[in-house]
Structure 1
Amino acid sequence: MENKEYKRSFIVTGLTCINCVRRVEKALKSIEGVKFASVNLATSTGFIISEREITFKEIEEAVKSAGYGVSEEKLEDIEKKRYSQNKKNLIIAWFFTGPLIILMSLHMFSHHKIPYFSFLEAFLGGAVIFYAGKSTLRSAYIALSHKHSNMDVLVSIGAFVSWLTSILEILRFPIMSFGALGAMIMAFHVTGRFIETYIRDRAAKELKDLLKLQAKEVRILEGESEIYVPIKAVKKDSIAVVKPGEKIPIDGIIIEGKSLIDESTITGEPIPVLKKKGDEVIGGAFNLSGPLKIKITQVGEDTYLSKMIKLILEAQGTKVPIQAFADKITNIFVPLVIILSILSATFWYFNFYKLYPYLEKIKNFLPWIILTHNSLSFSVFVFISTLIIACPCALGLATPMALIKATGLAGKKGLLIKNAEAIQTSKELKVILTDKTGTLTEGNPKVVEHNLSEELLKIVASIEKNSHHPLANAISKLTENYLEIEKIEEIAGEGIKGVYKGKEYFIGKPKDDKIYESLLKDGKIIIEVRENNKILGYLAIEDPIREDSYKAIQKLKFLGIKIVMVTGDNYETANFVAKKLGIEEVFARIKPDEKLNIVRKYQGLENKVAFIGDGINDAPALKGADIGIAIGSGTDLAIESADIIIIKGGISKVVDMVILSQKTFSIIKQNLFWAFFYNLIAIPIAMMGFLNPLIAEIAMIFSSINVTLNSLRIKVL
């Protein structure tokens, strides 16, 4: 028996770069029982998979040991606080830096030098660095105290060393003051953080839209009166009243009324659906036309919308394989930059006077180069420039920003990505193995013919009422007067059996398809009924082909993907559907273990294989495929085994997934290219002394913003 896995998401506070993420992940993995740990820099979301239930206290202790914090607050609340704090830091930084820039300009270009300018520079620069930039300094201190480094270490050292030169000048040391430059470095860094926060929020817009759909109150029917109850206090089986034009607050079943329901914000389906008594409704959808009374069936984290948001957050917390490459680079990047900064500063200190004539000529073309007759001053200038230009923030954001946008957009379009690795793998698919019922067909079959007596029909419907198979619902609806059945047993890929009045009844696959040849040729699905292994009759079921299936299969073929039908149904029905849809390869009457063998067969030919299914019998194949895709209306086991869940619709959503994968991976590669290219070009220029630290800081900020804005280009599927 497979061991149970426990999953948990949470918010990590204080993260600034990929090295912070690495440190926290290492701490989380040290918790006993944790099998997998991942932290997303862009959303500050942590995610663990464990062999046992991990308490919040254990997570908190592990993360704190790495120098960071954990919060139980909602993501949107933390983002609001982060945005507010960054805005406050921005205002304070420029409140002091603005006057300092004006004073510095007057001091440099005026005939009358400003008295005590070094003191003003030290005071105003100190206010910016130590007050507005205190969160940056704190992050740098945490990193260094835990014997690792991050981008804040580079900025903090650069800004502090710049400010320190103003103190040294006051103390009459023979060195040029860069105090104002230190203030500007920190001010621009704080500005970059603010802009980055703002754009990150835009990147996560789709997830935020889903969060907004969660209601805060529910109008509950209490006797003859209506009262408003906080969503957290609502109990199952309560009756909610929803009027036309209102949002449906919570999951339930309509017990009175009918109305057009708009579920586009959740499922991506643009056309409103007419729902009436007995139909299920999802919290977050909109009631368009008529008053409804809804019996609440799910509350808290069990609601459809809550599960959906949780799955998106989990996907955003995991990583794609290409990110491992970027992580390896950034792990050694910051220490390497510090070494390069020291080496370049040392080189200039000992060779400054030899190279001075060349610097004078170059300054005619690069006026921002600071020339001084002091080798120590120019060495400090080069040291600061090299530190600042090399901040690896863009590298850290390159992949997670694209994943935030992609997973959020997919969720809005009706695709839930449980495993972010599926985003990278989808573009590499060569074979898609698909079940038939509920995937290529509507999954809403109806009994169109049968030869059973009224009594036998009641027995059959009562047994099928206990089944999770898509066809079972069609059969169970044939009666409203259900009988007491004993020893119910569902046989994956075969059917279901039960005992009534001492007799065992089996409802499922026929023993011999030839008996029903004429019905099967017409695309009917035949369910045979046997009593103590004796055939009593049959039911003929039709399941209409989804409207989007044909076009979707043609598009997938155009993308170079082979489509193979793998179904437990009989050959005639399977071939009838396959011929209509243009599927050339069909496996019929397949058992669950055989489905997995077929997956392995195609994987053995060095293909990336996806499997699409919705039943219990599909679970092994979903788990074994490179990508398991479950239909959202399927069984819990199928959904749990899948990497991607199609909330509503069929195989057309897989086309969306493949195209999304191609676009997302293209954006990730662009992000990583520009992040690496930027550092490859900029670091040598800074080491040669040709780059002003202020320009370096601005370039670093624009590199991070460019990566984030580029990720926002993932828009339409």
Structure 2
Amino acid sequence: MGETLKTKENRVANEVKKTFTVTGMTCATCAKTVEKALKKLDGVKFAAVNLATSTGFIVAEREVSFDEIKKTVEEVGYGVSKESPEDVERKRYKESKRNLIFAWLITAPLAVLMLYHMFIAEIPYFTWIEVFAGAFVTFYVGRATIRGAWIALTHRHTNMDTLIFFGAVTSWVTALLDSLGLPVMSFGAIGTMIVAFHITGRFIESYLRDRASKEIKALLKLQAKEARVLTDKGEVMTPIEAVKEGFVVLVKPGERIPVDGVIVEGKSSIDESVVTGESIPVLKEEGGEVIGGSLNLSSPIKIRVTKVGEDTFLSQMIKLIQEAQGSKVPIQALADRITMWFVPAIIILAIASAFVWYFNYESFLPFVEKARSIFPWIIQTSDPLTFSIFVFVATIVIACPCALGLATPMALVTGTGLAAKKGLLIRNAEAIQTSKDIGVVLSDKTGTLTEGRPKVVDHNLSDDLIKIVASIEKNSNHPLAKAISELSQESVPIENVEEIPGEGVKAYYEGNEYFVGKPLDYSRYDSLLSEGKTVVEVRKNDEIVGFLAIEDPIREDSPAAVKRLKEMGIDLVMITGDNEKTAKAVARRLGIEKFHAGVKPSEKLDLVRTYQTHGKKVAMVGDGMNDAAALKGADVGIAIGSGTDLAIDSADIIITKGGISKVVDAIEISRKTFKIIKQNLFWAFFYNVVAIPMAMMGLLHPVIAELAMAFSSITVTVNSMRVRK
């Protein structure tokens, strides 16, 4: 027998997830090497390492300590830091900027001298200038590249630094050999330029990657460092780490709210746009929940802290985004397999090309002469060793595994960042690839198509019966129960409360059995049902004693979202526990053609399976609690966030605020992101397929090759940023 849903939920509940910063990575092969090492760690079920964000992510069956992770990563030559990726990136950016300046202070004058030496007049001891200048740039300024190559080689793998190392060092060695009187043309200045262009490309790439992930960085900046805690001695500015649940903090107008909590004094407009995607400020008063990171606009408020540290909405939000950015989409598997073998293959091809040219140079000379008329940068020499080195260096530096490695993660970083900005948290990166193919959206009615704030608009109950019914409904979590319980502030002693899923609530009061829920005969309430109202019947000892008519206003954005889904060729099917007449009335007002009424929570998964058998990808939209089975069973589960609670493990995507219109946003972001991923992969493959053979044929100069290599990585990064537009 297969694994039951309950077993799966228990298994998921026992999983431990960790996100951490990985240092020392320079290309996709580095990330893949760290990832393979983490997967071998005892208890780790899944591991993903993201080059674009310098983060690692694991899912384990046990608690894995930071020291275990650090040791595992260090064994393959890389590091783990407790600092945030942003702090690590800031330090790396500062160091890259310094190296860039040093590289060009030496390389620019050297390039001018090289041109003067080649075309105007010979400079005495120029090759010795190349030797010393090249040594400084290659081994000091480019020491991070040398270190990266050495780490890779000593741990029996290769990376992008390996290619630059072989290309630059080989060029520098030619200058040294030429200076010592050996008959080899010097490529010393070219080796220096290779390193300088490589550092420049890395600097630009780092800058663009920083911009591409600006949404997650904006969220991190919202995390408060201090809070103004109210004590017996007055206001005390307290480090956020020392703030505990139950503390009362004061937030003045214009300040960021530092914690999650409930307003205990004051009333103010709150801007929650950064964390919910809603641009219109919300008026909050006593009893209202506030989210850390949102902005207090108009008046001072006092807040009782309800959540601190990793439990806060903002921390959970950041964690979920980082997990999504650290995970992978299926299409990335091909690129990963290629990048693992890419660098060793290039080294073999470069060596093979050099040998072929060395032993067949005279035979190929007519081809070289003819090609030089088209490609003037091809060197003119009669020495086969010199030309072989020329081909070797060009082939080594033209190859670009970075473009392949960045193609998918860069688009994911930008896409998940855009989603967060719109109030969508994509928990599972695979949902990015799946959502684009959604053919059917199954949507719950209450809280998704409607506002989820139902109100009693009519009833025929006596005052005493209202007290009894309101007291019974206070024991239920159903959205309709909240509306009924608000009818009376007085409570009466209720006994033996039993909630019957999909039916209603049964309880006892003064020895009598009361039932509040679905009517026995809906035809008694035809006029109310035809208006789209939900009818709740009240029975005492199985006799009908009254009814309540409840209405849940349709969300303002629902009609436009339903229309947009139709235009996208997606079928929207409404699922509701309401009776058929109420469901039909709501569906008619929204323009929904298909709906299922009277559906119990246990039947929703069956509907998901039914639509999947028709060969279409199915998205299920629900509240993440009653709909857990259907959310897990759907190709993409989309949960409506409840208040500040993001702990909805059943969903792939969480809507922090809003309704069905956010589903449209999710599908559009998926389609746009995946389109960019395919473009990135195409151009990365195309670049390497065209450029590498040209270099092997001796048609590319090493400097041009290095420029092209840097340009390919930058192009992939820039193209990924188009997701936001």
Normalization by structure 2: what TM-score?
0.94
CA contact (8 A) 1:622 1:638 kept: no
1:614: Cα distance to partner? 0.7
Checking the alignment, whether the CA contact within 8 Å between 1:613 and 1:638 is kept in structure 2 is: no
Using the alignment, how far apart are the partners of 1:602 and 1:405 within structure 2? Answer: 32
* Distance change >3 Å, CA 449–CA 142, structure 1 → 2: same
What is the rounded CA distance, in whole Å, between the counterparts of 1:120 and 1:467 in structure 2?
A: 83
Q: 1:483 to 1:703 in 2, by over 3 A?
A: farther
Cα drift, residue 476 of structure 1: 3.0
Q: Who is 1:510 aligned against?
A: 519
Task: Verify the 8 A CA contact 2:624 2:651 in the aligned structure 1.
Answer: no
| Matched-pair contact (CA < 8 Å) for 1:394–1:703 | yes
Tell me the CA shift for residue 500 of structure 1: 5.9
From 129, 142, 155, the equivalent of 2:138 is 129
Tell me if structure 1 keeps the 8 A contact 2:561–2:660.
yes
**CA shift in 2, pair 1:353/1:500, >3 Å:** farther
Which residue does 1:31 correspond to in 2?
41
Q: Match of 1:92?
A: 102
> Structure 1 residue 118 and structure 2 residue 140: aligned?
no
Report whether the alignment pairs 1:343 with 2:352: yes
The reply on whether 1:574 has 2:579 as its aligned counterpart is: no
Deviation at 1:257, TM superposition (A): 1.8
- Residue equivalent to 1:628: 637
Q: CA separation of 1:377/1:494 partners in 2, compared to 1, >3 Å: closer, same or farther? A: farther
1:312 corresponds, among 297, 321, 333, to 321
Matched, 1:659 2:659: no
| Residue in structure 1 matching 2:403, options 394, 409, 412 | 394
In the TM superposition, what is the alpha-carbon distance from 1:632 to its structure 2 partner? 1.2
Q: Say if 2:53 is the partner of 1:48.
A: no
1:31-65: CA deviations, max 9, x gaps? 22222211111001111222222222222222222
Distance 2:16 2:545 in 1: 46
Partner of 1:268: 277
- Using the alignment, how far apart are the partners of 1:145 and 1:290 within structure 2? 62
In 2: Cα distance, 1:291 partner to 1:122 partner: 67
Structure 2 counterparts to residues 607-686 of structure 1, below 5 A: 607-633=616-642, 639-686=648-695
| Cα distance in 2 between the residues matched to 1:209 and 1:457 | 49
Q: AA paired with 2:146? A: L
Deviates more, 1:475-484 or 1:361-370: 475-484
- What SS does the aligned partner of 1:617 have? coil
Does the aligned pair in 1 maintain the 2:229–2:249 contact within 8 Å? yes
Look up the match of 1:152.
Answer: 161
Deviations 1:244-296 (A, max 9, x none): 22222221112222222221222221211222121111112222222212222
Cross-structure match for 2:32: 22
Paired with 2:234 and 2:721, the residues of 1 have a C-alpha distance of 48
Given that 1:616 and 1:637 are in contact with CA atoms closer than 8 Å, whether structure 2 keeps it comes out as no
**Structure 2 SS opposite 1:11:** strand
**Cα distance between partner residues in 2 of 1:494 and 1:399:** 47
Residue aligned with 2:648, SS: helix
TM-superposed CA distance for 1:484, in Å, is 6.2
Measured at CA, do residues 11 and 461 of structure 1 come closer, stay the same or move farther in structure 2, by a change above 3 Å? farther
Is 1:616–1:638's contact at 8 Å kept on the other side of the alignment?
Answer: no
- Per-residue CA distance 1:89-122 (angstroms, 9 max, x = gap): 212222332332233233323434222x333222
How far the C-alpha of 1:331 sits from its partner, in A, is 2.2
Q: By how many angstroms is 1:139 displaced?
A: 1.6
State the alpha-carbon separation in 2 of the partners of residues 242 and 698 from structure 1. 52
Provide the C-alpha distance between the structure 1 equivalents of 2:446 and 2:118, rounded to a whole number of angstroms: 79
Per-residue deviation, residues 435-457 of structure 1 (Å, max 9, x unmatched): 00000000011122334454554
- Please say if residues 524 and 542 of structure 1, whose CA atoms lie closer than 8 Å, have aligned partners that are also in contact: yes
Hey, what's the Cα distance between the residues in 1 that align with 2:495 and 2:70? 49
Once the two structures are superposed, residues 578-597 of structure 1 have per-residue CA deviations (whole angstroms, 9 ceiling, x without a partner) of 11111111111112221001
Counterparts of 2:644 and 2:153, CA distance in 1: 50
User: Retained in 2: the 8 A contact 1:19–1:331?
Assistant: yes
Give the letter for the 1:257 counterpart. Answer: G
AA partner of residue 297 (structure 1): T
Q: Distance in 1 between matches of 2:699 and 2:320?
A: 48
Change (3 A) 1:356 1:474: same
Structure 1 182/486 Cα, relative in aligned 2: closer, same or farther at 3 Å?
A: farther
The 8 Å contact of residues 20 and 57 in structure 2, kept in 1 or not, is answered as yes
Larger displacement relative to structure 2 (450-459 or 254-263):
450-459
Partner of residue 68 from structure 1, selected from 71, 78, 85: 78
- Taking the aligned partners of 2:648 and 2:501, their CA distance within structure 1 comes to 16
**Cα distance, 1:520 vs structure 2:** 2.0
Q: What is the RMSD computed on CA atoms of the aligned residues? A: 2.1
Shift of 1:695: 0.5
1:562 aligns with 2:571: yes
Instruction: Give the residue type in structure 1 aligned to 2:93.
Output: Y
Q: Which string of whole-angstrom CA distances, capped at 9 and with x for unpartnered residues, describes residues 645-664 of structure 1?
A: 11111101111111111211
Report the secondary structure of 1:347's partner residue: helix
Pick from 247, 267, 273: which aligns with 1:238?
A: 247
Name the structure 1 match of 2:150. 141
Cα contact 1:615–1:635 (8 A) shared by 2: no
Q: In 2, are the aligned partners of 1:614 and 1:638 still within 8 Å (CA)?
A: no
Checking the alignment, whether the CA contact within 8 Å between 1:349 and 1:375 is kept in structure 2 is yes
* 1:367–1:485 distance in 2 versus 1, CA, 3 Å: farther
- Contact 1:263 1:286 survives alignment (8 Å): yes
Distance 1:144 1:487, change over 3 A: farther
Cα shift readout 1:645-696 (whole Å, capped 9, x = no counterpart): 1111110111111111121111111111111111111111101101011100
* CA shift digits 1:626-653 (9 cap, x unpaired): 0001111279698221111111111011
Which residue number in structure 2 is paired with residue 447 of structure 1? 456
Aligned CA distance change for structure 1 residues 508 and 50 (closer, same or farther; 3 Å): farther
Q: CA 1:635–1:292 in 2, change beyond 3 Å: closer, same or farther? A: closer
d(CA) in 2 for partners of 1:638 and 1:601? 28
Q: Output one character per residue of 1:406-427: Cα deviation in whole Å (capped at 9) or x when no partner.
A: 1001101111111111111111
Written as runs of structure 1 = structure 2, the 5 A alignment for 1:406-555 is 406-482=415-491, 490-497=499-506, 506-530=515-539, 535-555=544-564
Is the contact made by 2:470 and 2:491 (CA closer than 8 Å) also made in structure 1? Answer: yes
Structure 1 residues 483 and 420, CA, compared in 2 at 3 Å: closer, same or farther?
farther
In structure 2, distance between residues paired with 1:514 and 1:29: 61
* Structure 2 residue matching 1:694: 3-state secondary structure: helix
Q: Call closer, same or farther: CA 1:635–1:694 in 2, change over 3 Å.
A: closer
- Deviation, 1:475, is 2.6
Residue 260 of structure 2 corresponds to residue 251 of structure 1: yes
Q: Which runs of 5+ in 2 are unaligned?
A: 1-5
2:614 counterpart of 1:600: no
Residue in structure 2 matched with residue 191 of structure 1 by the alignment:
200
Question: How big is the shift at 1:459?
Answer: 4.5
For residues 532 and 166 of structure 1, the distance between their equivalents in structure 2, rounded to whole angstroms, comes to: 101
**Corresponding pairs, count:** 715
CA contact (8 A) 1:549 1:650 kept: yes
Larger mean CA deviation between 382-391 and 76-85 belongs to 76-85
Q: State the distance in 1 between where 2:75 and 2:503 align.
A: 53
* Worse-matched range after superposition: 635-644 or 285-294: 635-644
1:154 Cα shift? Answer: 1.0
For 2:276 and 2:677, locate their aligned partners in 1 and report how far apart those are by CA, in whole Å.
26
Are the aligned partners of 2:209 and 2:410 in contact in 1 as well (CA < 8 Å)?
A: yes
Residue 6 (structure 2) pairs with residue 7 (structure 1): no
Give the superposition deviation at 1:518.
3.0
Residue type of the alignment partner of 2:113: L
Q: Pick closer, same or farther for the CA change 1:68–1:527 going to 2, 3 Å.
A: farther
Name the amino acid aligned to 1:597.
Answer: D
Q: Deviations over 1:683-713 (max 9, x none)?
A: 1110110101110000011111111111111
- The separation in 2 between residues aligned to 1:491 and 1:72, in whole angstroms, is 49
Percent identical residues: 63
2:209 maps to 200
